Amino acid sequence: MTDFLRFTLYAPLASWGDTAVGEIRGSWDRPSRSAMLGMIAAALGITRDDDPAHAALDASLAFGVRLLAPGQALIDYHTTQNPKAGFVKKRKPRTRRDALADPDLPTALSRRWLRQDALVLCAIWTRTGASYQLGDIATAIRQPVFVLYAGRKANALGLPLAPSMVAADSLAAVLADDPELPGDLRALRPPGGWGLEVAHDPCEHFDAGLDASRVIVRRDASPVRSRWQFAERPVNVGHVPRASGS
């Protein structure tokens, strides 16, 4: 048996990142590994510039995410203005008002993808030699040091995460249960039923128990938070076996 921490993640609007090229800022349809690590780091009170703590958290945890409902895509058109690097280095602005004093303020245009009404079931487990334990993470999620959000600060969570500890023989067993939702959110259920696809880290000491497995590549590994750097990693994708008769 392996111990897992499980919770349901829902937000009216979410953005889970993708490779950013030019003015396009995409979003995956479910939380990336870096997004999950960032959320847990916020709950624990780890600041973005604490690279050793982020590295320890990254080395401690593994994730599995079942996409229950992908929601729908929304494109948000942005115009933003930020001072040039030379102005920042010389003037060292401390407020947004100071930053906007740059007489040659450039404007950046971007199209940012969001997911509307996406719903996922998440499972976390610890790796060998973990510096962080599931019980401490569960406590932090219930009483986070920093506000938790779905990818961007404007994307508030739509439900409490309500983490719970689960002991199981496989990842599929942890993620097999359908969510219990308030009545007004049950309409999120897709016409064909809740999704069964699971993206997950390697299950080193237990069986994933998933069907139709494949491997994809995501650029969401080993984040250097202070410089917003990410590396490619393989992601295992499978499906929770559908219950007989469903």
Averaged pLDDT of the chain: 86
Is pLDDT above 60 for 11? yes
Q: What percent of the chain has pLDDT over 70?
A: 90
Q: pLDDT by residue (tens digit) across 134-149?
A: 999 999 999 999 999 9
Which CATH number applies to 2-70+115-239? 3.30.70.2660
Q: Tokens for 43?
A: 């709950």
For residue 193, give the 3-state DSSP assignment.
Answer: coil
Residues, the chain: 246
pTM, 2 dp: 0.81
Confidence of residue 244 (pLDDT cuts 50, 70, 90): very low
The pLDDT value recorded for residue 154 is 86
**Cα–Cα distance measured from residue 64 to residue 203, given in angstroms and rounded to the nearest whole number:** 9
Q: What is the DSSP string of 68-120?
A: EE--EEEEEEEEEE---HHHHHHH---SHHHHTT-TT--EEEEEEEEEEEEEE
Answer with the residue of higher pLDDT: 183 or 199: 199
pLDDT (mean) for 75-97: 81
Residue 168: phi and psi, rounded to 5, are: -150, 165
CA distances 17 to 112, 115, 145, 215, 239, Å, are 10, 11, 23, 19, 23
The pLDDT value recorded for residue 131 is 94
The pLDDT value recorded for residue 143 is 96
Is pLDDT above 60 for 49? yes
The pLDDT value recorded for residue 225 is 56
pLDDT (mean) for 50-61: 93
Is pLDDT above 70 for 20? no
The residues spanned by each domain of the chain are: 2-70+115-239
The pLDDT value recorded for residue 215 is 85
The pLDDT value recorded for residue 218 is 76
